[in-house]
Each structure stands twice: as structure tokens, then as C-alpha cells.
Amino acid sequence: MRIAVVGAGGVGGYFGARLAAAGNDVTFVARGGHLAAIREKGLTVRSPLGELRVAPGAVVPAIADVEGADLVLVAVKLWDTEDVARQLRSLAESGTAVISLQNGVQKDTVLRRHLPQESVLGGVCYISAFIEEPGVVAHNGTLQRMVFGAYGGKESGPARALLDRCLEAGIDAELSADIERVIWEKFVFLVGLSATTAAVRQPIGVVRGEAGSRSLLHDVMREVVAVGRAKGVALDSGFADDRLAFCDTLPPSMTSSMHNDLERGHRLELAWLSGAVAALGEELGIATPRNRAVADILSPYALGAPAVPEA
Ligand SMILES: NC(=O)C1=CN([C@@H]2O[C@H](COP(=O)(O)OP(=O)(O)OC[C@H]3O[C@@H](n4cnc5c(N)ncnc54)[C@H](OP(=O)(O)O)[C@@H]3O)[C@@H](O)[C@H]2O)C=CC1
Ligand SMILES: CC(C)(CO)C(=O)C(=O)O
């Protein structure tokens, strides 16, 4: 299968490298120092599931350099989606399927603004991975799961083919006939985890162990469920309780990519997480005070570590 991975960072680098190691024809689209390092030494993935190295020739600097693909995996941060969507148009118009593994519930709306509707399949991933240094992706823990499928439960050849390739590559993967609900289910958990780990600046073990931050986690997720249900997504009314119980099963050291980004002084996906919940709540007339507070508290960090103004 010919797969193009746009964004060779934590998510794209990890899943793309596993698919390449299993014999698929994977092209990575990368940029900056990461591109230069991969061109020189290849892409290395350090993982408790085994180290991988992808050959230097598998990387290109632009989507226009991809010489045909059956499927594109989009794995750039959310602020880069619009730009990537525009550049994917000609591939998608020639029949290439597109699956975004990004977080949030707005990514596919952005992709659909630029691409043929049927080319955009839905997807989510569960993993903790990041660029440790240019050319090197580090995988924390052993979780590495993808769920994907066509919207509306339609049968999709590319999704089925990707499932087979993932399973051969040792990636925990599943096809879903209700991918919209799956994306929202992840969103409930992710917004809870990212809001609280970033606000408290501690992993889930600390957040869930303290009555105040535990109730913040629960309330943040309740608000996401209320917004999703108001949008017509088939989320169970008690889904936040279910996710809180799930949070109790996580390793205490687990944290969110947004907390990692905050700690490193990087830009945050806040506007697409708690910020999006607050904006959607306003639009739909659903109260979201906890998500609004988290979005406001973290707003000085949204574009990276803030500089204190000169006196
Ligand atoms: N990291 C994680 O553990 C998880 C992340 N996610 C989600 O996955 C998505 C990707 O996150 P993550 O892997 O952490 O992101 P990273 O920042 O690690 O990787 C994205 C990479 O894509 C590059 N990039 C952006 N635009 C382009 C472009 N036009 N052409 C080529 N390269 C480009 C970036 O370069 P540059 O640095 O120059 O911007 C960066 O190297 C996010 O939505 C995130 O929320 C989901 C689950 C877990
Ligand atoms: C919650 C988690 C770690 C699961 O993949 C995630 O998606 C993120 O933090 O971005």
C-alpha cells in the first residue's frame, strides 16, 4: 500500500515508521530541522515495543513531491490543517483517501472544505509520542492504537486496506462503523485529560487523586458530553462517569500532548480543545464554565511560553 504521512512528528513518525517497517511504501512529508535530520540519517523511533529506523530516502519537503498515494495520514498540529488541506487537493481529486489522526472534532470539517467529501475518512489515534530531537521520535508507554472508518458507516476499501496493513505492522487498529461518535468519545476524554493535566501541570495520577482536580476533570468531561449531545452526537448521558472510571485505570504518569507542549514552551492546541468546547457551548446555549475557565487560564501560553512585558 502506498501511504503518505503528512507531518512526521510524534503521531505521524510513529505510525508511519511502523507501517514502513512492515513493508509498506511510506513517504513522509516533513520540514525544517526534522526534514534535514531524516534526510541525513533516516527517521528513528524509540519505543518500548522496539526501535525502528526508516531510510533517509522516504522523506520529501512538500505534499506536491508525493508521487501518488492510496492513502494520506494527516498528523500535523491543528493550526496547520487548513494549509495542508489546500495542498492535498490534487491528490484527493485523483482518488487518494485522507485520514486525519489529529485530535479534536473540527479537523475533518476543515479537510472537507478543500477536498472531495468522499475522500475524507474519519480517524483517531491513542498514543503518547513526541519529537525527542530532529530525526528521532520517542514513544512513551506501549499504547499505540488507531480507529478509523468512512463517515455514515459506509464501506471503504482504503480503510479496510489500512486496517490489514496496521494489523500486519503490529499496530492495534480497528474499523468503526460510527466514526463520528468514536471521534467525540475520544474528544470527551482528551479534553478532560488535557485541560486538567495542563492546568494542574501534573500527570493524571496527581489530577485524579485530589478531590478538587478530580471534580474539575469530571465536570470538564460532563460539559463536553453536553455539547456533543446538543450537536446530535450519540453520546451516552453518563459517558463522563465512564471516562472518569477509565482515567482511574491509566498509569499514574500518563499525561496529555497539550501538557507536554506546555512544559516545553510550545504552542498549544487549546483553541481546538477546551477553547472549542467553550465556543461550541456558546453557539448551542450549553453552559461550559469549566472549559471556559481552563481556556482563559491557559490563554497566555496558547502561542508558546509568554514573555513578561518590560516595565
Ligand atoms: N503527540 C501525541 O502523543 C498525540 C498527538 N495527537 C494529535 O496528533 C496531531 C499531531 O500531533 P504531534 O504528532 O504531537 O505533532 P508534532 O508537532 O510532533 O508533529 C507534527 C509535525 O508536522 C510538521 N508539519 C506541519 N505542517 C507541515 C507541512 N505542511 N509539511 C510538512 N511537515 C509539516 C511539524 O513541523 P513544525 O515543527 O515545523 O511545525 C512537525 O514536525 C495533533 O492534532 C495532536 O493533538 C493525538 C494523539 C497523541
Ligand atoms: C490522550 C492522548 C494521550 C491519547 O492518545 C492524546 O491524544 C493526547 O494527549 O493528545
Whether the CB-CB separation of 75 and 169 falls below 8 Å is answered with no
The whole-angstrom separation of Cα 34 and Cα 131 is 9
The whole-angstrom separation of Cα 157 and Cα 83 is 27
φ/ψ of 161, rounded to 5, equals -65, -40
Grid cell for residue 2 = 502506498
* Nearest ligand, CA 135: 1
Pocket of ligand 2 (CB under 6 A): 103, 126-128, 190, 193-194, 256-257
pLDDT number for residue 55: 93
* Nearest ligand, CA 186: 2
List C-alpha distances in Å: 311 to 91, 236, 281, 307, 308: 52, 51, 38, 12, 9
pLDDT number for residue 56: 87
Return the residue whose CA atom lies nearest to atom 33 of ligand 1. 7
Ligand 1 pocket member 190 (CB < 6 A): no
Return the residue whose CA atom lies nearest to atom 24 of ligand 1. 7
* Nearest ligand, CA 243: 2
- What is the block-wise mean pLDDT of the chain (311 residues), using blocks of 10 residues? 97 98 97 97 97 93 96 98 98 98 98 98 96 96 96 96 98 98 98 98 98 98 98 96 97 94 97 98 98 98 94 83
The whole-angstrom separation of Cα 284 and Cα 304 is 30
Ligand 1 pocket member 59 (CB < 6 A): no
Residue type, 127: I
Alpha helices in the chain (DSSP H): 10-21, 32-41, 81-93, 107-114, 157-168, 179-200, 204-209, 211-230, 239-247, 257-263, 274-284, 289-298
Residue ranges per domain, the chain? 2-177, 181-301
Q: How far is the CA of 286 from the centre of ligand 2 (A)?
A: 25
Atom of ligand 2 nearest to the CA of 126: 5
User: Domain 2-177 has what CATH class?
Assistant: alpha beta
pLDDT number for residue 213: 98
1.10.10.350, 2.40.30.260, 3.30.1230.10, 1.10.1040.10: CATH of 181-301: 1.10.1040.10
Atom of ligand 1 nearest to the CA of 127: 48
